[in-house]
Amino acid sequence: MPTPSAPVQAPRPPLMRHGADRPVSGVAAGLARHLGVPVGRVRAALALLSLVGGAGLALYVWLWLLMPEEGPDGAPAADAPTLRGRAPEVLERVREGGWPVLLAAVVLGVGVLTVADGLGLAVDWALVGPVAVLVIGLGLAWMQLDLAGGPRAGRSGRLVRLVLGTALVLLAVLSIVLGAVSSGELWRSLLAAVAMLAGAALVAMPYVLAWLRRRDAERTAFAVQAQRAEIAAHLHDSVLQSLALIQRRAHDADAVARVARAQERELRQFLALDSRGGPRSLAEALEEHAAAVEDAHGSRVEVVAVGRAAGAWLEPLAAAAREAMKNAARHAGDAQVFAEAGEDDHGRTVAEVFVRDRGPGFDLHTVPADRLGVRESILGRMERAGGAARIRSGPGGTEVHLTLTEPEGARARTGQEHP
């Protein structure tokens, strides 16, 4: 007779802040759900522990910092901090609230200490003031942590707040130390510390300078390598292919002259780096490239653009689209180009370009390694620019899909907005 198996115990719900029952932050409700006890008991236990030196309050804050927030589907919210910590969210909340949040935190701490003092617990009020100033100074300085690379318009104000927060921290530390030692001992200790730091700085200075030189050399080498790759891709896109086309059409003087004029126009644009003043739009660049391809190959390239995007950051996208147009003109004849510009959730411009033809198609894996047209001029160029390129090809034709997102700070560098 088979022995009945033991009932399988259901797993505990994950430890997350519960959103449905959250008068404050959902910590107590989430903890009660995880432990399988009524939420009232958890709240009562936290309240009683708060009377014992503030242990309950400290536990509540610690859980709030570590527990992720429950999403609508019962899983952790996609944008909620995980168990690795909530420090970025805390800084964001403090930055958004500013001084009221800092003062509220200080007042809350003083209130807890007052209650503890009333219950007969020993509270050293001589330290409360300096500690409160220390908390305000740290909060004021940490508020600027994630804003260091922000717009230049507010950098002076952030610097003032950082200096003010640092000064408050130093004053608070000096006040706390002066309560334990005499002023003479304090100054002697400060002088000794400064002398030790100066000696350590002298010892470390050659190593720091050598590290800075190595970092600058690596950045320069990377920039030179990227520039060489870009020049090689451009030479393949324009000069080498034009020479090959001239060799095939050497008997046709008109075709040779047309290719030479198109190549001259393209080289002038490349050397001038678009010296017309303002950045050209993506649609203008695609129209120019389409005209050059039509002149060189005698094919028809139709360009349709929706939305507007402009800036130097679009040049790699336009160059990759130009190479796709050339491939379509060589292997399929005519081509259609569709460009679209929009914005993502962060307000950055996202540009997409589709180049389609109705040629015989090809298999990318069968292209020889020394043929750089697709691998370097399209895929490699988009990868270096931080974008993406996808190629779908078959018997009915080929589609090249290019995507590029506006880099951080691109508008601040150009000083222009994209309509």
pTM for this predicted structure: 0.39
Q: What are the residue boundaries of the structural domains of the chain, listed by start?
A: 10-85, 87-180, 216-414
Distance CA 305, CA 299 (A): 20
- Is residue 113 within 8 Å of residue 123, measured between CB atoms? yes
**The residue type at 212:** L
- Is residue 21 within 8 Å of residue 40, measured between CB atoms? no
Q: pLDDT tens digits, the chain, 419 residues: what are they? A: 455 555 545 567 777 776 555 565 677 888 888 888 888 888 888 888 776 656 677 777 777 766 777 765 555 554 444 434 444 555 555 555 455 555 666 666 666 667 666 666 666 666 666 777 777 777 777 766 545 444 444 566 677 777 887 887 777 777 777 766 666 776 777 777 777 778 777 888 888 888 888 888 888 888 888 878 877 777 777 777 777 777 777 787 767 776 776 776 677 667 655 445 556 788 888 988 888 888 777 778 888 989 888 888 899 999 999 999 998 888 888 889 999 998 888 888 899 999 999 888 887 777 776 666 677 888 888 999 889 999 998 888 899 999 999 887 666 454 444 44
Superfamily for the 216-414 domain: Histidine kinase-like ATPase, C-terminal domain (3.30.565.10)
Task: Dump pLDDT digits (tens) for 302-359.
Answer: 889 898 888 888 999 999 999 999 988 888 888 899 999 988 888 888 999 999 998 8
Identify the residue whose tokens are 């720091």.
208
